[in-house]
Structure 1
Amino acid sequence: MSHSAQPLVIRFGRLGDTLLLQPMLRRLHARYVQPCHVLARGRYAAELYQGHPDVADMLVLDAHHQPFVLSPEQWHVVHQLRRMRDVPVYVAELQPTSLARIRFLLKMAGIPDRHCVFLEHIPLPPDSHWIEHLLQLADATPPAFHSAFGHVACMTSAVPELVVSPQERADCDQWLIHRQLAGHPLVLLQAANKRTVRWNGVRKASDDDKSWPIEHWTRVVAAINTQWPDARILLCGSPAEARYLETIRATMAQSGVEVVARDLPVPRLKALLAIAHSMISVDTGPAHMAATMGCPLVVMFGSGPLSYWAPRGASPDAVRVLGGPPRQRVDAIAPDEVIAAWRGLPLRAPPSSRVEAGLTSMALT
């Protein structure tokens, strides 16, 4: 058996889940010498890892599940997987419904169980981060590959890294000029999370432990305007959240606030986070992106355990985490706590003084 292989990693998570795979992809690249195939769900996954040195290619399924016989997309993925019947397979999934779908696809592709290792079989030590759990998976070896790779051990960073290409930077620069945002300090607010907007409207705040009251956001914006009168405050999110964010902006009735949710595909958001002054966010995927891109961050947690899900960046001082157990809801966090944490963030060097391209977050643990 060759002493190099191209591992396949499978994860059907959302944006933050997909980003947190990155240290695992780096570890597998080091172990097997070749970059990884990745099977993920949602177009954002391919956009997130476009041009990344640890990713050879992306197989992407639509986020909405269809019966197999009615889904040409799933047939295509199975056809692609059949070409990978002799590679090590790492299934980084714990959600039962997604696991069942993954097992079905692997069976249809004829990939033997001996070629696979599953995160559900990897014990997690107490108080470990999700990234450490994934790295433990990366250190395991499928039985069929144990003789060739079972002895291979690599120490790699536990901090995610993302690539911003020159094209993505140029696109972001042009967008900032078009929106008349260039030259202003940019503070990003991420008020919504994946559960905020449903098919039938905005979820009730009482049913969302990550919901922070609009009047709290208003006080934060007033504090930012006082400290940085020239700042532009950008309400970020997905296109589906734009109307909800417009409601927040209108309720605030403050200057310098813009909704940009319809203008932020993942590549542009990456580039924007690479130059923004700071971000204030509830616990959601873009907060993890901010930490990865070195954007000074205040992130508010509800019931999620901080030890498991706190965002990681190369500069720990640039990430301030508020809330979490024993507090169970984001709305238990006072605006003054957020304002004080934001004012305590380290100053970010202007874009002109930073390296223009390459990888971010290069620190090793």
Structure 2
Amino acid sequence: MAAVRPVIVRFPALGDTVLLTTLIRALALRYGTPVDLLASGGWVEPLLAHNPHVGEIQLISSRRAPYALTPSQWAAVNWLKARPNAPIYYCERDPHSARLVARAVTDEARFVRAWDHWNDPHLHWVEWWLQIANLTPACVQPAPPPVDAPALTALYPSESDHAECARWISAQGWGNAPLVLLQPGHKKTSKRGRIATADHDKHWPAERWAAVIRGVLEHLPAARVLVCGSPREHGLVQEAIDAAGQGFDLAGRAVNLARDLPLPRLMALSARAHSMISVDTGPAHVAAAMDCRLVVLFGGFGWSRWKPRAPSGRVAALGPSAEGAAKVADISVAQVLSAWRELVA
């Protein structure tokens, strides 16, 4: 008999999706089969489409919208009902998700409810996901043996993604120049009218990003600094580049990629990049999963749970380790450049 695929229910942000690959891989190894995923977000399929541990992906447009008005929720309920024996690893704790899943599955013996097993506020997400992967719903008899999976994230861009990225780099005329990625924005900066949300704990002023651009280029004169972001962050990115060019000859060595960086390209570019300097946000987790050397600036959430995990471990976290009232603005340019130079030495 073919193995029954486990189902993960998780509605993740971009960085959460990368962290979730630890749980996906561990469950796939434990059950001997790819894992199906009920999720939301336009980034999920680009990130996971070529992951060998992922089976089917079912997306909903919103879990908060009224059920009667949301066809994607109807499809998700039917999708779950079509898996009557599947163990379900339920990794949410909001009432909207609970109501949706309850429309399809009421047998509690089929669930591992991850948040019922949360006991350490400082435990890193990937370590916790490995603990959850080794729990077994009561309906699964006998329980598959536990696995000792790596506490790392993993992304799998396709060969065509790598080839497209190589062609794109060549077309820019960057040749073999070291490519240093900067990520100044995060998901909240594109949700509030004025992109530079100065009161947010992850905000770092444009003039500091500008100083980092100049510092990188002084240390690596042949480099190209590629400033990343979403299309809505274009102005934020350009503000940093314009500030860097005041009294400093950039000569085209700092480039705004906010309108030219779909996720498959970001994955492939991260695999080729010299290094990345980023605020605590999703693209930093993407870069780490592709083993790009990485400096990350943390604010109020701290880094003990959120520090990106790279296969080589070449990730430097600046800021507090624990959650608190700290801000990224507490970190100096000198600290960032010192950490970056030490990392890439």
Give the structure-1-normalised TM-score: 0.88
Instruction: Find the counterpart in structure 2 of residue 14 from structure 1.
Output: 13
Whether the 8 Å contact between 2:275 and 2:344 is mirrored in structure 1 is no
Using the TM superposition, give the Cα deviation of residue 71 of structure 1 relative to its aligned residue in structure 2, in angstroms. Answer: 1.4
Using the TM superposition, give the Cα deviation of residue 244 of structure 1 relative to its aligned residue in structure 2, in angstroms. Answer: 2.1
| 307, 318, 323: which one aligns with 1:322 | 318
Tell me the distance in 2 between the aligned counterparts of 1:197 and 1:159: 29
Instruction: Find the counterpart in structure 2 of residue 118 from structure 1.
Output: 113
- Letter of the structure 2 residue corresponding to residue 334 of structure 1: S
- Partner SS for 1:4: coil
| 287, 290, 295: which one aligns with 2:287 | 290
Instruction: Find the counterpart in structure 1 of residue 167 from structure 2.
Output: 174
Relative to 1, partners in 2 of residues 1:160 and 1:128: Cα closer, same or farther, differing over 3 Å?
A: same
1:259 aligns with 2:256: yes
Tell me the distance in 2 between the aligned counterparts of 1:240 and 1:113: 42
Using the TM superposition, give the Cα deviation of residue 141 of structure 1 relative to its aligned residue in structure 2, in angstroms. Answer: 1.0
- Partner SS for 2:170: helix
Instruction: Report Cα offsets for 1:307-349 as digits up to 9, x if no partner.
Output: 2111111112x111111257701111110111111111136xx
1:67 aligns with 2:80: no
| 199, 210, 213: which one aligns with 1:218 | 210
Instruction: Find the counterpart in structure 1 of residue 177 from structure 2.
Output: 184
Identify unmatched segments of 5+ residues in structure 2: none
Tell me the distance in 2 between the aligned counterparts of 1:201 and 1:154: 47
- Letter of the structure 2 residue corresponding to residue 269 of structure 1: L
| 150, 155, 171: which one aligns with 1:162 | 155
Tell me the distance in 2 between the aligned counterparts of 1:246 and 1:228: 21
Identify unmatched segments of 5+ residues in structure 1: 348-365
Tell me the distance in 2 between the aligned counterparts of 1:310 and 1:233: 23
Comparing 106-115 and 28-37, the one that deviates more: 106-115
Tell me the distance in 1 between the aligned counterparts of 2:173 and 2:106: 52
Tell me the distance in 1 between the aligned counterparts of 2:209 and 2:234: 16
Relative to 1, partners in 2 of residues 1:261 and 1:46: Cα closer, same or farther, differing over 3 Å?
A: same
1:244 aligns with 2:236: yes
Tell me the distance in 1 between the aligned counterparts of 2:87 and 2:331: 45
Using the TM superposition, give the Cα deviation of residue 134 of structure 1 relative to its aligned residue in structure 2, in angstroms. Answer: 1.5
- Partner SS for 2:295: strand
- Partner SS for 2:216: helix
Whether the 8 Å contact between 2:182 and 2:227 is mirrored in structure 1 is yes
Instruction: Find the counterpart in structure 1 of residue 337 from structure 2.
Output: 339
Instruction: Find the counterpart in structure 2 of residue 83 from structure 1.
Output: 82
Q: Which runs of 4+ in 1 moved over 4 A?
A: none
Q: Percent identity?
A: 36
- Partner SS for 2:304: helix
Tell me the distance in 1 between the aligned counterparts of 2:120 and 2:105: 33
Instruction: Find the counterpart in structure 2 of residue 152 from structure 1.
Output: 145
Instruction: Find the counterpart in structure 1 of residue 221 from structure 2.
Output: 229
Whether the 8 Å contact between 1:85 and 1:111 is mirrored in structure 2 is no
Instruction: Find the counterpart in structure 2 of residue 274 from structure 1.
Output: 271
Give the structure-2-normalised TM-score: 0.92
Whether the 8 Å contact between 2:63 and 2:100 is mirrored in structure 1 is no
- Partner SS for 2:297: strand
- Letter of the structure 1 residue corresponding to residue 142 of structure 2: A
Q: How many residues align?
A: 338
